[in-house]
Amino acid sequence: MNGVRGRPSRRWVGRWVAGLTLHLLALGAVSLSAVAGQPPADPEIGQRIYRQGILPSGEVVRATIQGDVEVRGSQFHCASCHRRSGFGSSEGGVYVPPVTAPRLFADRLLDRAELFREFYQEVQPPSFRARVRDPRVRPAYGDASLAVALRQGRDPTGRELDPLMPRYRLSDEEMAHLVAYLKTLGAEPDPGVDEGAIHFATVVTPGVDPAELGALRAVLDGYLRRKNNDTRGQLAHPNHSPWHRDDFLRGYREWKLEIWQLEGPSDSWSEQLDTLYRQRPVFALLAGLGVGDWGEIHRFCERRELPCLFPNTDLPVVTSPPGDYSLYLSKGLSGEAEALAHYLQTNRTLRLLQVYRDSEASSRPAGVLRAALQGGATELVERKVEGELDAAFWRDLIAEVKPTDLVLWLGESEFEALSLLPQSSAGPRRIYLSFALLGEVPRGLPPELSSKVFLTYPFALPGREIPRRYRVRAWLRSRRIEPTHPRVQLNAYFALSITDHALLHMLENFSRDLFVESVEHEAENALNPGVFPHLSLGPGQRFASKGCYIVKLSPQSAGGIEAVSGWIVP
C-alpha cells in the first residue's frame, strides 16, 4: 500500500523537476544560439569524439568519474561503455543504457523485452537485477538536456546518472558536434534485413575441395532448415509460444543464406563481392572457406562495414589494430609461427634453419617467425626455395648451414623430401613443421626421422574432448550429416549457433555493430564445439582461439601426437 500511495507524489516531484528542466532547456537554447556564429555541427567530428574521445583540436576529452577520479578520453570515451553501436552494455555488474538516436530523442518507456539479456540470460549481482527492474522513464532528450547529462550527469527528470558516467568537459562547439553525431547513431537499421527475412552469405574462394564445400553446405542447410521450421512454428502461434517468447516475435526473421562462390585471381574478388552485394545485400557473412590469403574479403567487409564471422582460413588478416568487422577463429599460420617463436625462445640457444616457399601460406609464417625471433638468442638462417627439393639439395644445405634445428613451412608434397634427409647424428636435432600446412599428422616416416619431428598444433588435442562436441556431433548424426570434414563442419556450426544467440538478444535492433558486440559477448559462453580448446572474445578482440600446442609424433597416443608444450599463448 505504501508504494501505491507514494507513487502520485513521486510523479509530482518528477513534474516539478521536469518543469525546472524546461526552464534550463530554454536557457540552454539561448546559450547554444549564442554560438550560432560558429561553423555548423559536424557529425563526423562528433563521431571521433564518440568513438575515440578525440576533440576537434586533436586533444583528448577530459572527464571526472566516481566523483573525484580524473580520466582522459583515451580511457573513457562514449564508445568504451555505450559501444560503437550505441546500444550500451551490461559488463561488470553495471547496466549501461542505450544511447542510439531513437532511444535518446524519444521518451523512455518501459519494455521488458528490451532487457531480455539483462533479465534472463546473465548471471548478475542482485544490485544489477534491481537496477534493470527500476522503472526509469524519462522524457526525450533535447540538445540542451543532453548537454546537461554529458556535463553534469543529470537526466531530463533531474535524476543523477551513475557516478561511473563520466562528467565530460566539453565546449559548446564540441558538444554540438557530439550531439549532431548522436542524432545519426543507430537511426537507420542496417541493410540485409527486411520484413520477413534476414539475409546472410557464405564466401567460398576458388581452389576449395568440392567435398569440403559439400560437407560445409550440409551443415549450413541443415541448420537453416531447423532454424526456419522453429521460427515458423513460433510465428504461427502468437500468444501461445512458451514463456517469454511472445515478447520477441517481432525480432524473428526467416534466415536466408547464399553461397558466394568467387572465381579467378584474388585481385578480382573485391569487384565480384561488390556485384554480389549489390544484387543481394546481406546482414553478415557467416562461416566461409578460403584457400590462400583472406585479405581481399577482409578488406571488402571492413569497407562495407559488414560483419564476417569465423571463416575457415589459414591466412586471416593479422594487423594491429585488427579490423572492426572481421572475426576469426584464430590467427591461423601467423599464430602458429608466433607460438613456435615463443617455444623456441625459452631456455635454448639455437642455430635455426628456416625453409619456405614463395607462396603466401609459406612465406607469411616464415616472416612472422623471423620478426618474432629478432633480437633473441636464436641464430636464424633462411632459405627461400622453389622447384623440387631432392635429397642432394637437403644434404648440401645441411652440410653448409649446420643447423641445430629446422623449421620447414612446407606442405604435404614435401614429405618425400623430408624422409630423404640425411639421418646422421650430425644432422639437425629437431624438425618443426606446421600441422595446418601438412593437413594431417605424418605417418609412416622412418623411426629415426619421426622421433625428430615436431608440429605446431593449433587445435584441441585428440582425446581431450570438450563436452559440447558430443552434442554437436549428435546433432549432425540426427540430420544424417556425415562428419567427413569435422573441423570445417564444427566451425560452421559455431558460426551459426553464435549468430542465433546474438540475434535473439538483439530483438529487432538490426544493427551490425550490435551484432558484433553480441557475438563478442556470446563467444565467452559455452558454445565451443571442440575444434579449439578454448574460444573466447571480448570487446574489440578478433581472434577467438589464441594459442597453439607444440606436439611430437607419438604413434601409440590418440591421434598419433603428444603435446610437448602447454597451450602457448604468444
Partner 1 sequence: MWLFTRFTSQPGRWRRLGAPVRAGALLLCTLAFLAAVPSQHQHHHHQQQHPMGSGEHYSRVRTSYRVPDVTLVDRTGATVSLRKLLEVDEPVLLQFIFTTCTTICPAMSATFAAARQELAGDRVRMISITIDPHHDTPERLQDYASRYGAGPGWFFLTGELDDIQTVQKAFDAFWVNKMQHQPRTYLRRSSGEPWLRLSGLLSSAQLVAEQEHQEHQAE
Q: Which is nearer to partner 1, 81 or 398 (CB)?
A: 81
State the minimum distance, in angstroms, from the CB of residue 550 to partner 1.
15
In angstroms, give the least distance from the CB of 165 to partner 1: 10
Q: Residue type for 482, please?
A: E
Neighbours of 32 (CB within 10 A): 17
Cβ closest to partner 1, residue 16 vs residue 470? 16
Phi/psi of residue 286, nearest 5 degrees: -120, 145
- Minimum separation from the CB atom of position 104 to partner 1 (A): 19
561: enclosing H helix or E strand: strand 561-563
CB 66 within 8 A of CB 164: yes
Minimum CB–partner distance for residue 349 and partner 1 (Å): 18
Q: Rounded to the nearest whole angstrom, what is the least distance from the CB of residue 117 to partner 1 in the complex?
A: 11
Q: 31-35 long-range contacts, Cβ below 8 Å, gap at least 24?
A: 31/144, 31/172, 32/143, 32/144, 32/147, 32/172, 32/176, 34/172, 35/172, 35/173, 35/176
Q: Are 197 and 256 in contact (CB under 8 A)?
A: yes
Name the residues that contact partner 1, by CB under 8 A: 5, 9, 12-13, 16-17, 65-71, 74-76, 80-81, 83, 89-96, 122-128, 130-131, 158-160, 162-164, 521, 524-526, 534, 536, 538-541, 546-547, 566-567, 569-570
Residue 551 vs residues 231, 315, 378: alpha-carbon distances, Å = 45, 22, 20
Asked if 389 and 362 touch (Cβ cutoff 8 Å), the reply is no
CB 458, min distance to partner 1, A: 13
Q: Which is nearer to partner 1, 277 or 457 (CB)?
A: 457
Whole-number minimum distance, CB 131 to partner 1, in Å?
Answer: 5
> Which among 546, 492, 532, 538 has a CA at the least distance from the CA of 519?
538
Rounded to a whole number of angstroms, the minimum distance from the CB of residue 83 to partner 1 is: 7
* Beta carbon nearer to partner 1, 544 or 553: 544
Q: Max alpha carbon distance in the chain (Å)?
A: 96
The CA-based dihedral angle spanning residues 442, 444, 446, 452, taken in that order and rounded to the nearest 10 degrees: 20
Residue number with CB closer to partner 1 (453 or 550) = 550
Nearer to partner 1, 122 or 194 (CB): 122
Asked if 316 and 328 count as a contact pair (C-beta separation under 8 A), the reply is yes
Query: Least Å distance between CB 43 and partner 1?
Result: 23
For the CB of residue 226, give the shortest distance to partner 1 in the complex, in Å.
26
d(CA 52, CA 35): 25
Q: Which is nearer to partner 1, 90 or 491 (CB)?
A: 90
Q: How far is the CB of 17 from partner 1 (least distance, A)?
A: 8
Residue whose CB is less far from partner 1, 256 or 501: 501
Cell numbers of 327, please?
A: 572475426
Q: What nine digits make up the cell of 269?
A: 574478388
- Give the shortest CB-230-to-partner 1 separation in angstroms: 25
CB nearer to partner 1: pick between 5 and 278: 5
DSSP state of 562: E
Nearer to partner 1 among residue 47 and residue 354 (C-beta): 47
CA distances from 128 to 83, 120, 131, 132, 411 (A): 19, 12, 5, 6, 53
β-strands 430-434, 453-457: how paired? parallel
Using CA atoms, how far residue 174 sits from 33, 40, 58, 84, 154, in Å, is 14, 11, 12, 19, 19
Q: How far apart are CA 518 and CA 535, in angstroms?
A: 15
Distance CA 544, CA 528 (A): 10
Closer residue to partner 1 (CB): 41 or 96: 96
Q: Please, which residues bridge with residue 407 across strands?
A: 354, 432
Other CB atoms within 10 A of residue 210 CB? 7
Min dist. Cβ of residue 129 to partner 1 (A): 9
Task: Round to whole Å and give the CA distance between 563 and 303.
Answer: 41
Q: Tell the smallest beta-carbon distance from residue 524 to partner 1 (Å).
A: 4
Q: Nearest distance from residue 480's CB to partner 1, in Å? A: 34
In the complex with partner 1, which residue's Cβ is closer, 80 or 509? 80
Distance CA 529, CA 541 (A): 20
CB-wise, 50 or 255, nearer to partner 1? Answer: 50
Instruction: Give the whole-angstrom CA distance, residue 230 versus residue 84.
Output: 32
Q: Which is nearer to partner 1, 238 or 538 (CB)?
A: 538
Q: Between residues 92 and 422, which has the closer beta carbon with respect to partner 1?
A: 92
The dihedral built from the CA positions of residue 278, 280, 284 and 285, taken in this order, carries a sign that is: negative
Query: What is the C-alpha to C-alpha distance for residues 272 and 148, in angstroms, rounded to an integer?
Result: 49
